[in-house]
Amino acid sequence: MKVKSLSITVAALLLVSLIPQSSSAASAPKMKRYTVTMQKAHLPTAPNNGTDDYRCFLLDPNVTEDSIIRTIQFIPQQKNYVHHAIIFRVTDADLAEAITADKNGTGWPCFGGTGLGGMLSTFVSSPWLSSWAPGRGKDVSPAGYGTPFKKGERFVLQVHYNLLAANGGKLVTDRSKIVMEAIPAKGATVKQLHVELFPAPVELACPPGVTGPLCDRKKSLIDLASRTSTTSAFEATGINVLCGQDPFKPTPSLTSQCDKVINSNFNVIAAAPHMHLLGRTLKLILNPGTPSEKTLLSVTNYNFDDQSSTVLKKPVPVKAGDTIRVECTFDPTLRQKIPQLKTLAPRYITWGEGSSDEMCLGVIAATKA
């Protein structure tokens, strides 16, 4: 099976921030503030009796000059059931398609990535500017770093609404917004940040003594595709392929792991975790099992409500040919204890877009070496 790219809402994804938080952002001259709100209020709905709504919206911040993003912030109007949000940059190649899909502010369903560009999944291929998950505030670039944003470019805002978290089951409309601060690119000397994503498969069987039709992996994947998108089932299989597991008969495990061989040189500035409600620990390890092994991130008590990134004390160089491992652990028995999940039918849990599915995703903010 050939997989062009992966969708990680992320988990994804999550979820987590591409521009790490820091209190050390240097003051920049000519800082400009851009605020843009969703054109129309959206009432979340889930397909096929599901509990998750992924919706993309095209937003125009009206940037009139090539710029460098210093801070960016997603501000949810309905915090209780916004599971996460991701801010993508729309390239010229995809702008016409995005305008058509957006239908003058109504937005479009987008499980996975933006859905733009004709890819199987665009979570990785679409330029990712920032993300929000519970516990996150404003993304502030560390002193000397920033993210480019060209004149006339726009955002695609992907919002994951978790209908399970609605107060009393009652949903109201949402009009969230993005606030960005940037300096002119002309004459700027800051280093440009980019993201590196490290996913691993999730294969969690029903705990001992817990039974039900969806404890069968095949039936669970069919249900996943029905309530999210057919792409989700392909993603669960594709991640297994990329990580060297049998995509059709993977081994269930409470630990998820994947090694990724790096094909470029970069310096790690910050790292962040993303899992869902059953995640317990997450690590990112550089060159595991070698004399040069180094832990980039170690989260020993994962908290979905605090997915903030960690800025490294000093940048860590990574070279082409190095290996970075992501490793996660899970506790599926929490499904019978967490209020949002315990009323749901037992199931075999795989990588998936929904709040009741799971992810194992490490996110690194880096600069070119």
List, for residues 106-155, the tens digit of each pLDDT value: 999 988 778 887 544 444 446 778 888 777 788 888 888 888 899 999 99
So what's the pLDDT on residue 24? 41
Regarding whether 316 and 177 lie in a shared domain, the answer is no
Is residue 102 domain-shared with residue 141, that is, in the same domain?
yes
CA–CA–CA angle 345, 350, 356 (5° rounding)? 45
Determine, yes or no, domain membership for 236. yes
Under-70 pLDDT residues of the chain: 1-29, 118-126, 168
- Domain boundary at 191, 226, 254, which? 191
In a domain, residue 125? The reply is: yes
At residue 309, the pLDDT reads 83
Position 185 in a domain = yes
Statement to judge: residues 244 and 107 lie in one domain:
no
For residue 135, the domain's CATH number is 2.60.120.310
- Domain match, 200 and 346 both: yes
Please indicate, yes or no, whether residues 180 and 215 belong to a single structural domain of this protein. Answer: no
Same domain, 172 and 265: no
Question: Given this model, what pLDDT does residue 308 score?
Answer: 79
Q: Which of 158, 191, 224 is the last residue of a domain?
A: 191
Residues 166, 38 share a domain = yes
Helices (H), 24-144: 92-102
Regarding whether 285 and 223 lie in a shared domain, the answer is yes
Per the structure, the complete domain to which residue 248 belongs is given by: 194-368
Tokens 């987008």, located at residue? 110
Residue 311 one-letter amino acid: V
Q: Which of 191, 217, 239 is the last residue of a domain?
A: 191
Q: Which residues contact 14 (CB under 8 A, 6 or more apart)?
A: 8, 84, 86, 131, 133, 274, 307, 359, 361, 363
- Number of domain units in the chain: 2
* Same domain, yes or no: 60 and 169: yes
Alpha helices (runs of H) in 92-143, residue ranges in sequence order? 92-102
Query: Is 1 domain-assigned?
Result: no
CATH number, domain at 335? 2.60.120
Please indicate, yes or no, if residue 309 is contained in any of the structural domains: yes
Co-location of 62 and 187 in the same domain: yes
> According to the model, what pLDDT value does residue 231 have?
77
Torsions phi, psi for 260 (to 5 deg): -125, 120
Question: In terms of domains, do 186 and 201 share one?
Answer: no
The answer as to whether 3 is a domain residue is no
Shared-domain flag, residues 154 and 220: no
**Six token digits for residue 68:** 């460098």
b/e per residue, 151-177, with b = 16+ CB within 10 A? eebbbbbbbbbbbbbbeeeebeebebe
82 bridge partner residues:
161
Is 20 part of a structural domain of the chain? no
Angle, vertex CA 300, rays to CA 312 and CA 84, nearest 5: 75
**pLDDT score, position 126:** 60
Q: Is residue 239 part of a domain?
A: yes
The pLDDT of residue 266 is: 97
pLDDT at 193: 85
pLDDT score for 128: 77
